Chains A and B, each alone.
Chain A
Amino acid sequence: MPAHDGTTEQNDGTDDMTDTVADPIYKTDALIAQDIDQYLKVHEHKTMLRFITCGSVDDGKSTLIGRLLYDSKMIFEDQLEALQSDSRKVGTQGHEIDFALLVDGLAAEREQGITIDVAYRFFATEKRKFIVADTPGHEQYTRNMVTGASTADLAVILIDARKGVLTQTRRHSYLAHLIGIQNIVLAVNKMDLVDYDQATFEAIVEDYTAFAKSIGITAFTAMPISGFKGDNITTLSANTPWYQGPSLIEHLETVEVNSATDADKPFRMPVQWVNRPNLDFRGFSGLIATGSVRPGDSVRVLPSGKTSSVSRIVTLNGDLEQAVAGQSVTLCFADEIDCSRGDVIALADSPPQAADQFEATIVWMADEEMLPGRAYWLKIGTQTVTATIQQPKYQVNVNTMEHLAAKTLDLNAIGVANLSTDKQIVFEPYADNRTLGGFILIDKISNATVAAGMLHFSLRRAQNVHWQATDVSRDFHARLKNQRPAVLWFTGLSGAGKSTIANLVEKKLARMNRHTFLLDGDNVRHGLNKDLGFTDADRVENIRRVGEVAKLMTDAGLIVITAFISPFRSERDMVRQMMQPGEFFEVHIDTPLAEAEARDVKGLYKKARAGELKNFTGIDSPYEPPHDPEMRIDTTAMTADEAADAIVARLIP
């Protein structure tokens, strides 16, 4: 810790910015000028720390980052000139330099005077290179903070010394803790505006300590600073003689980074890409998530469980003796075993598990709310599978940490829910392994990233419920009936003619000695699905259950005919995924809305138009027609009987 030298920091109130620029921490110019080779050597061995700054709108976050960049000489003269002229034009600091303008990048933000997205900034000191994620403090931007925090080793939580611990402070701390950031810095900012008062600082720290404990933060480092004036940023300030240190920069330079702790864990590497330039070389490329690996190590490939040993660690600069967490490498095995993208290579005697049902924390990041039961893509490491989420167990109020009942999650909501995947994934709890425990959810239609999640554990039933191997196989069932199982999935508006045509199809097939079963929407809702209504979420669950029933029936060798509106593409696709390839026939009973409404066999359209029926497809709930169905039946161009003949002819040519 540097001696506190009051003479270099005469703070006479003139705010001359140059006094802190010449700070010893950054005084590398002399070395650069005299011995560039030596300087490069030092720079070569620098480590890297990624951190986020979190604060409310006026906590001075952008000013602090601007100050760090300015002090580390990441701002050049031309940028400074632009900054000075901008400060006069749009600055909020009167005639003084507005550091926030340095980091508020997008034109829209300049006008509004706020930061609206995650921005990444870079600076370096003698010891470290830093990447700062600047994340906004508004409630509606929780997703940005979670995004910025996901790659951070450390979080700087800013508090305005005049205001103390606010709701936002609690929210930021909770999110940082949720994402698993171990190093938390409580930066009590704007100390200049409270006359550097020690009691003010200590009261805030005491207040924060009590809160931190309540959410499970066991350790943090508190410091009194002024981003605007530069106090305790690079060196200790004469204005706070009662503070013993460290300065913000000193702390950032010495704190341990994540990759160092990851290296101590058992070896795991998700396989990204199989490298096969020719028949003689087969390598498995990936970024080592945890642990280390050397040639000769016994490894296990998951989920298959096959074992081999590492023969080489191949790089362009020659083979390596060892590779550690954080490195991108290519491994070769001593034996030819199956291994492809999505597999995880792990230490043979301490492998991670595979499962398909989990409890997880989910942060919802899309405008469109989560639909329990809908199929989303789940990407975890290099594995991408289909996942469905159940109704949340609870949602967390990020301001009070209370658990609230919730049926779904909307934008920026955080909740805990069970989820299941269509096949087993190799995983570890997020708390142990960010790579094998952190996932994103992707909407199958829009392809947007709609959520981030963290796996807690696999559900016991996933571990204990095994597939019972039966001696009479699905093929045997089908052969016995002398037919190929299939699902004829009718979709279309209410009143389109689905049930009528389905009924005719079943009769025709029965006459041909085919074993069939007709699952009708109305009938199923009297029994299996009588607990479900007509909200989007319930419609999704309705279809999921029908899909599962249809699947069991195809296992029994049956030809299943279903007649459900099934308005959403993603659910129909989900059911398609459940079936064996070639056994799913999507039949679009295509009747224009006006025609279906004119028929109105059950009188439902009339009721819906009168407002007596809510969520009626085509009226106040959407219908998404199939893009590429196996068959499209235009009911305005043929009779029900002709339609049924066409469908049977397609199924049994």
Chain B
Amino acid sequence: MLDKKTLTHLERLEAESIHILREVVSEAEKPVMLYSVGKDSAVMLHLARKAFYPSPPPFPLLHVDTTWKFRAMYELRNRMARESGMELLVYQNPEAKDRGINPFDHGPLHTDMWKTEGLKQALNLYGFDAAFGGARRDEEKSRAKERIFSFRTASHGWDPKNQRPELWNLYNARKNKGESIRVFPISNWTELDIWQYIHLNDVPIVPLYFADKRPTVERDGMLLMVDDDRFPLQPGEEPVMRSIRFRTLGCYPLTGAVESEARTLPEVIQETLLTTTSERQGRAIDKDAGGAGMEKKKQEGYF
């Protein structure tokens, strides 16, 4: 071990992410970590704990909540905040709350108000000037071109043609008052890297990633889990127990499950590798506007 010189790809990725986290803490005035409780957030949080150990990460966790996440996600969220010794801020857009915006009746407005608007409101409310996000470049085409330090105007807009060049590992975190930076420490990780890292480091994740018998209904070709009694069943619909798991986690009425028997991490990875559809396929968000859905959302301020 002592004369080992070439780092493995995971060691290099980890070192890069830690470097990014520390640069932001050193140069930003008021950073925050956006915590969505998914597997990518789990890895990002773990990296933050490594970066500042033995100190707790010197910034709070921010969960932009839609009130429609899986119950298991809320449980893990609260547990991880306790274990990491970090402050947990939960923000729910009051307007969306008042108007009772929900994924069943309001379609795209649900994501727009709870998530896009909610995020902007939260960042403005607390005055954060740098926000860590768990986006990866391999997720989606417009992500592939986003910088690790992604500069946002005072109105949170993103201009893909006017990004700062990013050389070596020198990041420019300077900005004027009111402007902010979104930072993506795990930009260069792939889905497989994330799984492998969770496996090697025993990173706690939501149990919904593993297969189990769960109540489901099939709707528009998607398998949805009936996570609580707010799920309005249509006439003739009856929840069926199926062995399912989730490849990504969001609002439970919007997140499609896959039928699976993978109950352990290696089995999940096995299935992921042998699967023939991409990770975001279970999500509706990428398909608006002729393939440019995510790019458009990002210009509007979506993470």
Q: Does A45 contact B (CB under 8 A)?
A: yes
- CB of B172 within 8 A of CB of A327, answer no
* Count of chain A residues near B, Cβ 8 A: 90
- Minimum distance in angstroms from A264 CB to a CB of chain B: 8
**Interface size for chain B: under 10, 10 to 19, 20 to 34, or 35 or more residues?**
35 or more
- CB of B172 within 8 A of CB of A449, answer yes
- Minimum distance in angstroms from B290 CB to a CB of chain A: 8
- CB of B26 within 8 A of CB of A382, answer yes
Among A33, A106, A275, A317, which residue has its beta carbon within 8 angstroms of that of B274? A33
- Minimum distance in angstroms from A312 CB to a CB of chain B: 11
Among B13, B175, B278, B295, which residue has its beta carbon within 8 angstroms of that of A447? B175
- CB of B145 within 8 A of CB of A105, answer yes
Among A86, A151, A275, A324, which residue has its beta carbon within 8 angstroms of that of B55? A275
Among A260, A281, A440, which residue has its beta carbon within 8 angstroms of that of B54? A281
* 7 sample A-B contacts, Cβ–Cβ < 8 Å, listed by A number: A43-B196, A121-B144, A128-B9, A273-B25, A434-B168, A448-B164, A452-B167
Q: Does A117 contact B (CB under 8 A)?
A: yes
- CB of B166 within 8 A of CB of A147, answer yes
Within the assembled complex, what's the spacing in Å between the Cα atoms of A321 and B170? 28
Known: A74-B138, A79-B278, A131-B188. 15 other contacts (CB 8 A): A28-B273, A44-B10, A44-B200, A76-B277, A110-B292, A119-B144, A150-B167, A277-B55, A285-B52, A315-B50, A328-B15, A330-B53, A438-B170, A440-B165, A440-B172
**Among listed B35-43, B62-70, B206-214, B263-271, interface-contacting one:** B263-271
**Among listed B16-24, B120-128, B236-244, interface-contacting one:** B16-24
- Minimum distance in angstroms from B197 CB to a CB of chain A: 10
Interface flags, A269-304, vs B, CB<8A=1, else 0? 000110111000101011100001000000000000
Top 5 A-B pairs, shortest CB-CB distance: A105-B141, A48-B9, A328-B18, A107-B292, A76-B278
- Residue numbers of A with Cβ under 8 A of B are 28-29, 32-33, 36-37, 39-40, 43-48, 74, 76-79, 82, 86, 103-108, 110, 116-122, 124, 128-129, 131, 143-144, 146-147, 150-151, 257, 259-260, 263-264, 272-273, 275-277, 281, 283, 285-287, 292, 314-317, 321-322, 324-328, 330, 341, 365, 377, 379-382, 434-435, 438-440, 442, 447-449, 452
**Chain B, Cβ-Cβ closest to A34:** B270
Which of A286, A322, A330, A341 has the most CB atoms of chain B within a 10 A radius of its CB? A330
Cβ of B2: which chain A residues have Cβ within 8 Å of it?
A: 321-322
- CB of B6 within 8 A of CB of A47, answer yes
- CB of A328 within 8 A of CB of B188, answer no
- Minimum distance in angstroms from A360 CB to a CB of chain B: 14
Among B7, B172, B267, B277, which residue has its beta carbon within 8 angstroms of that of A326? B7
**Chain A, Cβ-Cβ closest to B27:** A384
- Minimum distance in angstroms from B45 CB to a CB of chain A: 12
Cβ of B52: which chain A residues have Cβ within 8 Å of it?
A: 273, 275, 285
- Residue numbers of B with Cβ under 8 A of A are 1-2, 4-16, 18-19, 22-23, 25-26, 49-56, 137-138, 141-142, 144-145, 160-161, 163-170, 172, 174-176, 187-188, 190, 192-193, 196, 199-200, 266-267, 269-270, 273-278, 281, 291-292, 295-296
Cβ of B9: which chain A residues have Cβ within 8 Å of it?
A: 46-48, 128-129
**Chain B, Cβ-Cβ closest to A86:** B291
Which of A44, A435, A442 has the most CB atoms of chain B within a 10 A radius of its CB? A44
Within the assembled complex, what's the spacing in Å between the Cα atoms of A104 and B292? 11
Cβ of A324: which chain B residues have Cβ within 8 Å of it?
A: 4-5, 7
